[in-house]
Amino acid sequence: MKMRTIKFPAERLVDFMQGKTCVFASSIPSDTELLDVKMDLLSRQVTLIIRSNNFEDIAEGLPIPEFSLTTITEVIVPSSPKPVNPVQRGVEPKPVSASPQSAPLIPQPPQPSLSRYAAKMENEFSPDQRKLLSFTIKEDCVIVKPVMFLKAEWEDINETVRSLGGRWIKGDIISYWEIPLQ
């Protein structure tokens, strides 16, 4: 297994999505592949599972080691936003008119938080089992992935997943359980 985990606070991911820049000073190999993203709802921490041929091979039964980021600089907010379309000399931008057929914005009723469903699914498993699993939401299902090789625990976890209406999905690299949201 030539995999590693990278852990960082969920706030860093939100900063990135809001367009704020944050710089990680590390030496991630150029052939790195992103295999999985996990959000731990309790500790508000994001875990990335990455793979590279440059990583040292680790035995199958051992937990995935952490790839350490050497430093994280503070979040830098750009001082002035850059224009989306650069202005060319001698060309005036055309005004955009609203289409008369466009529908007015209608507020949608609030929907229950999907993370609450994931947390509810997590509570179906024992604390020892939760330590061995990661829970994420994908479209209309909860994805339950083992974080390490499961031996005797697999049968008990599979039984719990099947009682929730889920099933085991066998993959080439990573296999997981899929539980539909109801």
pLDDT at 71: 47
Contact 22, 75 (CB under 8 A): yes
Q: Give the residue ranges of the chain where pLDDT is below 50.
A: 71, 73, 75, 102-103, 109, 111-112
Domain's final residue, options 72, 95, 123: 72
- Per-residue pLDDT, 34: 84
DSSP symbols for 51-86: E-TTSPP--TTSPPPBPPPSEEPPPB--SSPPPSSP
CA distance 142 to 148: 18
Q: Is residue 160 part of a domain?
A: yes
What does the pLDDT read at residue 105?
A: 54
Query: 59 lies in a domain?
Result: yes
Q: Is residue 109 part of a domain?
A: no
User: Does a structural domain hold residue 135?
Assistant: yes
Structural domain count of the chain: 2
Cβ(65)–Cβ(50) under 8 Å? no
Residue 136 in domain:
yes
CA distance 32 to 3: 9
Q: Which of 82, 83, 59, 80 is nearest to 2 (CA)?
A: 59
State the residue range of the domain holding 35. Answer: 3-72
Q: What is the pTM of this model?
A: 0.40
Amino acid identity of residue 7, one-letter, is: K
Predicted confidence at residue 158, as pLDDT, reads: 93
Burial level of 135, CB count in 10 A (0-12/13-18/19+)?
Answer: buried
Tokens of residue 10, six digits? 């969920």
Domain membership flag for residue 86: no
pLDDT of residue 49: 85
Cβ atoms of residues 63 and 147 within 8 Å: yes
Last residue of a domain, one of 52, 72, 92: 72
pLDDT for 177 equals 92
Task: Say if 104 falls within a structural domain.
Answer: no
Q: Is residue 100 part of a domain?
A: no
Q: Are residues 13 and 64 in the same domain?
A: yes
Give me the pLDDT at residue 155, please: 92
Residue finishing a domain among 53, 72, 91: 72
The CATH number linked to 145 is 3.30.1360
